[in-house]
Amino acid sequence: MNLLRVDSGKWIRVISISGGGGLDIKLRNIGFMPGDYARVIRQAPFGGPVLLEISGRELALGQGIARKIEVEECTPPCDLC
Amino acid sequence: MRFVLIGQPNCGKSTLFNQVAGYKAETGNFAGTTVTYTGSKVRVLGEVFELIDLPGTYTLSGSNPAERETLKYLFSHSADVIINVVDASHLSQGLGLTLELLELQIPVVVALNMMDEATRMGMVIDGPELENRLGTRVVPLVASRGRGVRNLFITALELGRSGRLPVRPMYGKDIEDAIQAVISKLDGQIANFHPEPLAVKLLERNEHLISLEQGRNPEILPFITSINKKIIRDRGQDASWVLSSERHGLAANLARRVVQQGERHVSWRDRLDDILLNPFWGYVALIVILFTFFQIIYSLGSSLEEPLLRFFDLLNVYLSRILSDYPFLAELVTGTLQGVAGGVAIVLPYLLPFLLGLGFLEDVGYLPRVAFLMDALMHRMGLHGKAIVPFILGYGCNVPAVMSTRMLEERRDRYLASALATLVPCAARLAVVFGLVAFYLGPVVALWIYLFNLFVIAVTGRIISALLPEDTPGLILEMPVYRVPTIKTVFQKAWFRAREFVVEAWPILIIGSIILSILNYYNLARMINLLVLPITWFLGLPYEVGVPLIFGILRKELSLIMLRQALNVTNFSQGLTAIQMITFTVFVVFYIPCLATLAMLKRELGKRDMLTIAGLTVLIAMIAATLARGIAWFIY
């Protein structure tokens, strides 16, 4: 499922990043890659961005981007819980 | 000896630079404040060194302007020591870049900045262990308070003298083989790049380096392509992907081994976002904060502006009396004074408090929250959340609004945001709206003009973005932790930005003012009116309104002051009908931004875009004023 469908507070693992335009490279360059664990903190209303916590920092991703990120829900990874 | 500061965005590089170099680099609690590099001389232990502040970069891959700048600098200039600033509270992220820097065969010292932040988050970092594993020097630092700065430069100096090279990380065997294979094809180094880092960057298909290497070694591209094919076959991803994913893994692993996560002290800062980003209270807070912000600036500004302008008026009257025998000189002096007064009346009362307030909001870390809250709305205008900042600033003054578009990554976004921000009615246009429409027709009509303005901006945004399709999928924004700003940096930053206005825009304001005074002396008002006649005729405005409109380009509130002179009335209702007042005001709100803003547009986007935006605003002003005239005709 894509990142938009995840409820706030849930842990996720990134499976893949689709879409062209170098989005995967852009995200990779800021340290966001498939295999990473993240927690969905909140989502802005009216189709606003998703706020994630990923290795201790907070990252906001717009809807257009979040839709292209395939994730799975998971239990908190142990070294982070 | 030359030290080069490299680090990821918002890691405190520029703060460190400013600590030792005086205020030269722009800082902010917002990713990507520095886009070009700044250099300065510093003195350590009695010796003078060159210190270079490079733009914040997540990697050296060269996929955005800041990264390209960093890589190009390292490539074309020799650096004796790299000072790698790492945000200690986000170690795993920062070390990714560190590992890449270790490959360059240049001595590296790692400055673990924001140690106070890390401690607050309950992290204990094993410095010696990190030193061991990285094989290079690591120094703790709190750049904002100047702690550890001296020690850092002493360490950098030692490293520079000894020239000790770091050991680069080892990758998977296939990648290592590929690197060696590329090295064997290379003919030594290019510029300041040693064969090994060069081989790695070529494998990553860095376009700049590949085209350079192609020049002396045409077989390199097919060779790299064939190696890459093999890597893709074995690994499912190309070399650049494998390299960055291995660095990512290595960095995470390193961080796990040297950081002990203790109890996190939950403080007000962690709770703050529960309110400020709340789907309901977040917007309430946004409105309250922005309202307070403008209220303070407006009351400060107007209480300063009045006495200042009175002083200049008195001075003008006095000088005119002295020079009454030399009318031309008197006119010139009046023009100069008006230009000077324009700058003083904008900078001191409005721009300075504005920049101080903005610097405060920025350093606290609130601006990215505004971007988060407004992202959805901004998408409707073809922009994303970060572009809200120029809009907010525009209500104070368009000059800092245009300046702030620098934080947007794409040129298209900067153009669109600048064009729209110049349509936002600044404090000077507020004076016209209030002095004319609110005073003679009532505040409700003024409010409608503001709403009409928002509507026109939204429509314009939609039209331009349909013509310039978005090439970015949207917002990627790091949400920094809230920080308590230091008074020193807030003041220094405001001064740094105000100086840009003083140097860039003010001289143009004065020159323009002098030219207009000369036109006035030769009694060219008629010619000006004739020149503007197509517009005034089309909008059904009196012929004499031409001069005030032209003067309004200097300073928007001048159009109101001059209007009184031009129509030769004290009460506007004697010279203008209600419909004409509305038409005039709407036109003034939209047409060509003031000279100071034009100068800033030219600086940020270049002459051509400045001219297209100016032309566009006239077109929009014509359409909007005609529309308003039609609506007003129905009502009155």
Write out the DSSP string of B229-290: HHHHHHHSS-HHHHHHHHHHHHHHHHHHHHEEE------HHHHHHHHHT-TTHHHHHHHHHH
Q: Which residues contact B599 (CB under 8 A, 6 or more apart)?
A: B504, B505, B508
Best of B245, B475, B477, B483 to disrupt the A interface (most A CBs within 10 Å) is B475
B93 contact residues in A (CB cutoff 8 A): 30-31, 55-57
Q: Which of A30-39, B456-465, B618-627 has the lowest mean pLDDT?
A: A30-39
Q: How far, in Å, are A51, B82, B414, B599, B604 from residue B607 at the CA level?
A: 39, 37, 14, 9, 9
**A76: distance to nearest CA of chain B, Å?**
16
Torsion over CA of B50, B54, B56 and B61, rounded to 10 degrees? -130
**Which residues on chain B place their C-beta less than 8 Å from a C-beta of chain A?**
58-59, 61, 63-64, 67, 89-90, 92-93, 96, 121, 241, 244-245, 248, 252, 255-256, 277, 279, 368, 371-373, 375-377, 379, 384-385, 471-479, 481
* More confident of the two residues B269 and A67: A67
Distance CA B525, CA B506 (A): 24
pLDDT of residue B185: 85
Write out the two tokens for B157: 């100096």
Are the beta carbons of B210 and B61 closer than 8 angstroms? no
B-proximal residues of A, 13-42, CB under 8 Å:
19, 21-23, 25-31, 33, 35, 42
B479 contact residues in A (CB cutoff 8 A): 51, 57-60
Q: Which residues contact B151 (CB under 8 A, 6 or more apart)?
A: B139
List own/partner pairs for B629-633 with CB under 8 A and 24 or more apart. B629/B539, B629/B540, B629/B579, B629/B582, B629/B583, B632/B578, B632/B579, B632/B582, B632/B583, B633/B579
Q: Name residue B51's beta-bridge partners.
A: B3, B40
Confidence tier at B32 by pLDDT (50, 70, 90): very low
Q: Is pLDDT at B617 greater than 90 in this prediction? A: yes
Report helix, strand or coil for B4.
Answer: strand
Q: Is pLDDT at B360 greater than 80 in this prediction? A: yes
Best of A58, A79, A81 to disrupt the B interface (most B CBs within 10 Å) is A58
Chain A residue with minimal CA distance to B282?
A44
Q: Is pLDDT at B618 greater than 90 in this prediction? A: yes
Q: Is pLDDT at A5 greater than 50 in this prediction? A: yes
Torsion-angle region of A64 (φ positive above 0: left; ψ -120 to 50: alpha; else: beta) = alpha
CA angle (A34 as vertex; A31, A37 as ends), nearest 5:
75
Confidence tier at B178 by pLDDT (50, 70, 90): very high
Report helix, strand or coil for A50.
Answer: strand
CA angle (B95 as vertex; B109, B166 as ends), nearest 5:
40
Report helix, strand or coil for A30.
Answer: coil
CB-CB neighbours of B484 under 10 Å:
9
**B376: distance to nearest CA of chain A, Å?**
4
**A78: distance to nearest CA of chain B, Å?**
12
Q: Which of A48-52, B527-531, B557-561 has the lowest mean pLDDT?
A: B557-561
pLDDT of residue B351: 76
The predicted complex's ipTM stands at 0.92
Element (H, E) at B403: helix B398-404
Are the beta carbons of B485 and B360 closer than 8 angstroms? yes
Answer yes or no: do B279 and A44 touch at CB < 8 A: yes
Write out the two tokens for A46: 């009216």
Which pTM does this prediction carry? 0.78
Answer yes or no: do A64 and B474 touch at CB < 8 A: yes
pLDDT of residue B266: 66
Q: How far, in Å, are A7, B219, B286, B452, B531 from residue B534 at the CA level?
A: 59, 64, 43, 24, 7
Q: In the predicted model, what is the mean pLDDT of residues B508-514?
A: 81
Of B248, B256, B372, the CB nearest to A31: B248
pLDDT of residue A81: 41
Q: Which of B213-227, B261-275, B392-406, B596-610 has the lowest mean pLDDT?
A: B261-275
Q: In the predicted model, what is the mean pLDDT of residues B213-236?
A: 88
Q: What percentage of chain B exceeds 90 in pLDDT?
A: 27
Answer yes or no: do A44 and B248 touch at CB < 8 A: no
pLDDT of residue B35: 53
B478 contact residues in A (CB cutoff 8 A): 30, 57-60
Confidence tier at B474 by pLDDT (50, 70, 90): confident
Are the beta carbons of B457 and B7 closer than 8 angstroms? no
Q: Order of strands, edge to edge, in the sheet holding B81-87? A: B38-44, B47-53, B2-7, B81-87, B108-113, B137-140
pLDDT of residue B478: 85
Among B270, B263, B262, B247, residue whose Cα is nearest residue B92: B247
Are the beta carbons of B367 and B553 closer than 8 angstroms? no
Best of B284, B375, B412, B470 to disrupt the A interface (most A CBs within 10 Å) is B375
Distance CA A19, CA B461 (A): 25
CA angle (A67 as vertex; A63, A71 as ends), nearest 5:
125
Confidence tier at B65 by pLDDT (50, 70, 90): low
Confidence tier at B23 by pLDDT (50, 70, 90): low
Q: In the predicted model, what is the mean pLDDT of residues B137-151?
A: 90
pLDDT of residue B176: 93
Are the beta carbons of B405 and B564 closer than 8 angstroms? no
φ, ψ dihedrals at B487, nearest 5° = -60, -40
Q: Rounded mean pLDDT of chain B?
A: 85
Distance CA B560, CA B584 (A): 10
φ, ψ dihedrals at B283, nearest 5° = -75, -35
Confidence tier at B419 by pLDDT (50, 70, 90): very high
pLDDT of residue A77: 63
Are the beta carbons of A57 and B93 closer than 8 angstroms? yes
Of B93, B244, B384, the CB nearest to A57: B93
DSSP for A51-76? Answer: EEEETTEEEEE-HHHHTTEEEEEEPP
A23 contact residues in B (CB cutoff 8 A): 473
Answer yes or no: do B473 and A64 touch at CB < 8 A: yes
Confidence tier at B284 by pLDDT (50, 70, 90): very high
**A72: distance to nearest CA of chain B, Å?**
20
B96 contact residues in A (CB cutoff 8 A): 31
CB-CB neighbours of B478 under 10 Å:
19
Confidence tier at B33 by pLDDT (50, 70, 90): very low
Answer yes or no: do B475 and A29 touch at CB < 8 A: no
Helices B578-590 and B607-635: crossing angle in degrees, nearest 10, is: 160
Note the pLDDT tens digit of each residue in A22-59: 788 788 877 788 888 899 988 888 888 999 988 778 89
* More confident of the two residues B628 and B400: B628
Best of A57, A67, A79, A81 to disrupt the B interface (most B CBs within 10 Å) is A57
B372 contact residues in A (CB cutoff 8 A): 44, 48-49, 51, 60
Q: Is pLDDT at B36 greater than 70 in this prediction? A: no
Confirm or reject contact between A44 and chain B (CB < 8 A).
Answer: yes
Note the pLDDT tens digit of each residue in B569-615: 778 888 899 999 999 999 999 999 888 899 889 988 999 999 999 99
DSSP for B434-474? Answer: IIIIIHHH-HHHHHHHHHHHHHHHHHHHHHHHHHS---S--
Q: Is pLDDT at B29 greater than 60 in this prediction? A: no
